[in-house]
Structure 1
């Protein structure tokens, strides 16, 4: 694997494989939504588009970051989502970083959306594919400078290249001490919960990766089961779920 780490403004051309990182909180929230039984997540470019997609498809739920707003059913908080009754529903998600990053690489042949809660399965998927060429990790926060996203991307890249024997503590510490974590902990970011940071730092909480692709005219995110035993470029190996 040849990892490249870029911010959204630095994207040029169409990556062969894109891993879009948003730890705090879009793709932690997405993983929680799937764990709560959401069937799929439609990624919207604007809040108006999110509301239109909800209106045109009765039964969908709309989610945004920031404070609650008219027409939106949920906010971008894993702690607030963990008790929501959303099983079997379709979620429309619009955030300022994660969904923007995914839509920016919409033409890539393989798009994975990730955070620490699905880091292991994402790395196994990359390793199992035996990726020979460059993998573009899109650091969505702070124009590519978000420490929590960069730490997660570097962890996934290293674990995808070498297997499960990678210590996660230094990467999680970087995320824990990030600007985003501080803003969430102190309530600077609206639509948050005191447990959000801790939930965003739960390594491998869920056993699936998340794959985005075009379905008709929309970008749709779905969970992808990843076997714990994969065959990569170095042969078969066991992967333990933490």
Structure 2
């Protein structure tokens, strides 16, 4: 894997489907997705729009719908790791629609391998890249049209870690902690936020699985890999 070619693009820069894509949304879509799997979710359907999410809910009343921002009719949860970490999602299907993360994943749905990532699954993602990425990876930096420093820092860290297993995360986590998204979450600028969200988004390697998205019956479906999650994933939250 040494010398892996990595490029870092915003969603607007994607002109064709890459072979291997890592879609990064640290604050908060793919931190939330990892927590959903840790709380027992079987799969996550990445919805094209809020209306599509509601339509899926209408067809599958037992599915759990989740969105950015404040609570809304028809949605069961909001896109907050702090609010989701106590949910019981055992065996459930989650439908997720967010501003950036789900959009980025859907933009590369034709890629041969799509991973969705954040700091909490960084090592597992890098490990999968070392075994399956071939000679090039496109990292999709979802926030702020590719300029979100928390997403770029995480993408750069995963790329480096795919080449150097012992890469130090401190500088990348510092950049993420100083990002505009972190400030907005901490200051309550965004709605549907828990006070622990930023800290939870900066927990390195909290979970031992990568997250792989594939097309299933015309839906983009995210699942953990390996499918059998270790019991460590569901341990009670650490306090910070």
Q: TM-score, normalised by structure 2?
A: 0.92
2:31 equivalent in structure 1: 28
Q: 1:23-172 residue pairs with structure 2 within 5 A?
A: 23-129=26-132, 131-163=133-165, 165-172=166-173
Q: 1:226 to 1:83 in 2, by over 3 A?
A: closer
Q: In the aligned structure 2, how far is the partner of 1:88 from the partner of 1:139?
A: 30
Name structure 1 gaps, 5 residues minimum.
Answer: 228-242
* SS of residue paired to 2:175: helix
Q: In the aligned structure 2, how far is the partner of 1:152 from the partner of 1:168?
A: 9
Contact 1:125 1:226 survives alignment (8 Å)? no
Deviations, residues 147-175 of structure 1 (Å, cap 9, x unaligned): 00000000000000122x11100000000
* SS of residue paired to 1:122: helix
**In the alignment, structure 1 residue 182 sits paired with structure 2 residue 178:** no
Deviations, residues 5-34 of structure 1 (Å, cap 9, x unaligned): 000000011100000000000000000000
Deviations, residues 187-208 of structure 1 (Å, cap 9, x unaligned): 0010001100000000000000
Q: In the aligned structure 2, how far is the partner of 1:183 from the partner of 1:140?
A: 17
Contact 1:121 1:226 survives alignment (8 Å)? no
Name structure 2 gaps, 5 residues minimum.
Answer: 229-240
Per the TM alignment, residue 133 of structure 1 is displaced from its structure 2 partner at its CA by 2.1
1:210 equivalent in structure 2: 211
* SS of residue paired to 2:106: helix
* SS of residue paired to 2:87: coil
Contact 1:66 1:76 survives alignment (8 Å)? yes
Per the TM alignment, residue 102 of structure 1 is displaced from its structure 2 partner at its CA by 0.2
1:194 equivalent in structure 2: 195
* SS of residue paired to 2:224: strand
Q: In the aligned structure 1, how far is the partner of 2:223 from the partner of 2:88?
A: 18
Q: In the aligned structure 1, how far is the partner of 2:211 from the partner of 2:188?
A: 28
Q: In the aligned structure 2, how far is the partner of 1:139 from the partner of 1:21?
A: 6
CA RMSD, 1 decimal: 1.1
Q: TM-score, normalised by structure 1?
A: 0.91
* SS of residue paired to 1:41: strand
- What is the aligned length? 225
Q: In the aligned structure 2, how far is the partner of 1:5 from the partner of 1:100?
A: 16
Deviations, residues 92-146 of structure 1 (Å, cap 9, x unaligned): 00000000000000000000000000000000000122x3422000000000000
